Amino acid sequence: MLFFKKFVYCVLIANSMLLHTLLDSRVPLFDTYPKMTSNIPYTSLGNYPTPLYKIESLGKKLRVKAIYIKDDGYSNDTKSLTGNKMRKLEFLLADAKEKGYATVCTVGSAGSNHALETAVCAKMVGMNAVLVLNDQYQTSAVIRNLKLMVYFGSDIIYAPTYYDSNEKMEELAQEICAKNGYYFIPTGGSNEIGSVGYVNAVFELKEQLKKMGLKDPDIIYITLGSVGTAAGILVGAKAAGLTSTIVPVRISYTPEYKTQHLCDLVNKTGAYLKRIDEAFDFEEAHLYQEDTQITISGLDIAINHNCAGNGYAATTPSSANAIAILHSTTGIKLESTYTGKTLSALIDDANNGILTDKVVLFWNTFSYGTFEECTAQVSDEQCLKSLPTELIHYLTDPLQPDDQGI
């Protein structure tokens, strides 16, 4: 597995004009707003900046002027998970530690990338993690992630089917936290503290573009899941002066629900940072177009509501096609819940001629790889002992027809 990842990365360097340079600062946001350095807790977990590279073959295939990938999913370590959740946890876990907590508790679905990453990163900083999980559609990512949760010794609680929404799940987790003295982390790490990770990520991107002599991309495609990543990018884009059109791609729930949630978190995140440093450039977001779009002064935002399919973790033919296309051209393997749907929106726009003269950036947020070095060490007996009984069936349930594997 390690050889494969290094091989793919070398191919990208050789054939796709790798654009990955070291920055002078670990937290570019703090360089611009120094007051935040001593007022926002932060702990270093990942290796940044994450790679930024141009995919020549994919651009030609889709007849787009140029396609770049900002790859938050790359790792050169077969035991190291990355992805967008780590950026949020650098701020969330630091906040928990500063407040004196020893254990964090978060929620997610059976195959939650966020729940898994929380367990892994909590151990990295000497904390414990309790994961409250509910049911979802079966995917190959569920199998991988549950085995990894067992491998990393996660403490898992099953939430019965009554807890069928993020709100109900979070209420349950907050009750557990109140009873046991745990620090609560919401779904996806998506609150104003976690979202700072992606405000910072935009400043990181701006520095990379500057060092490489590149203009801002015309369009950036991002996932609109638990909304923390998208909210941070929008707040960061305003503050950093990013001129790109930003396309958050909804992957679940209704357009109205998800847009309202995004609008609220944008405003909470911006207000939080402005309280810390009054110089922080923030404009309040507002809903429009029957509450399915948001507007922020100085930004061009176009939420894509066309790729969610039957909801969270439900595979779609267009997502399966997008995953296959990227894998065949780069070796990068996305998943069907988040990033496959996001890339499918980009491909749909390309096929409709919308991107013909555009420079496009796809922000990959999935920590890709099978991590077989870890999962191969997890026995059936360990799974039976470590996983709640209600989650065992995911290890053998058939996959959805369009599942592309990990």
Beta-carbon contacts of 198 under 8 Å, excluding residues fewer than 6 positions away, are 84, 87, 88, 228, 229, 230, 231, 232, 233, 236
Q: What is the mean pLDDT of residues 230-258?
A: 98
What is the residue-averaged pLDDT of the chain?
Answer: 93
DSSP output for 115-135: HHHHHHHHHHTT-EEEEEEE-
Give pLDDT, residue 75. 84
Per-residue model confidence as pLDDT tens digits over 282-334: 999 999 999 999 999 999 999 999 999 999 999 999 999 999 999 999 999 99
**What does the DSSP 8-state code read for residue 188?**
G
- Is the confidence at residue 355, as pLDDT, over 60? yes
Among 46-55, 74-83, 280-289, 291-300, the least confident range: 74-83
* Distance from C-alpha of 228 to C-alpha of 261, rounded to nearest angstrom: 10
Q: What is the mean pLDDT of residues 59-64?
A: 96
Among 13-17, 52-56, 61-65, 201-205, the least confident range: 13-17
Q: Name which residue leads in pLDDT, 8 or 103.
A: 103
Check: CB of residue 224 under 8 Å from CB of residue 248.
Answer: yes
- CATH architecture, range 85-190+373-395: 3-Layer(aba) Sandwich (3.40)
**Residue 6 banded pLDDT, cuts 50, 70, 90:** very low
**How many Å is the Cα radius of gyration of the chain?**
20
Per-residue model confidence as pLDDT tens digits over 93-150: 999 999 999 999 999 999 999 999 999 999 999 999 999 999 999 999 999 999 999 9
**What does the DSSP 8-state code read for residue 217?**
P
* Distance from C-alpha of 216 to C-alpha of 219, rounded to nearest angstrom: 9
Q: Under CATH, what is the fold of the domain 2-81+192-364?
A: Rossmann fold (3.40.50)
Domain ranges in the chain are: 2-81+192-364, 85-190+373-395
Give pLDDT, residue 379. 97
**Residue 78 banded pLDDT, cuts 50, 70, 90:** low
Give pLDDT, residue 16. 37
Element (H, E) at 175: helix 166-180
Question: Given this chain, do its domains 2-81+192-364 and 85-190+373-395 carry the same CATH topology?
Answer: yes
* Distance from C-alpha of 64 to C-alpha of 350, rounded to nearest angstrom: 7
**Residue 12 banded pLDDT, cuts 50, 70, 90:** very low
Check: CB of residue 229 under 8 Å from CB of residue 187.
Answer: no
- Is the confidence at residue 218, as pLDDT, over 90? yes
Q: Which of helix, strand or coil describes residue 266?
A: helix
Give pLDDT, residue 80. 82
**% residues pLDDT > 70 (the chain):** 94
Give pLDDT, residue 1. 40
Q: Any bridge partners for residue 295, and if so which? A: 286
Q: What is the mean pLDDT of residues 141-162?
A: 97
Check: CB of residue 93 under 8 Å from CB of residue 43.
Answer: yes
* Distance from C-alpha of 2 to C-alpha of 279, rounded to nearest angstrom: 44
Q: 6 phi and psi, to 5 degrees?
A: -65, -35
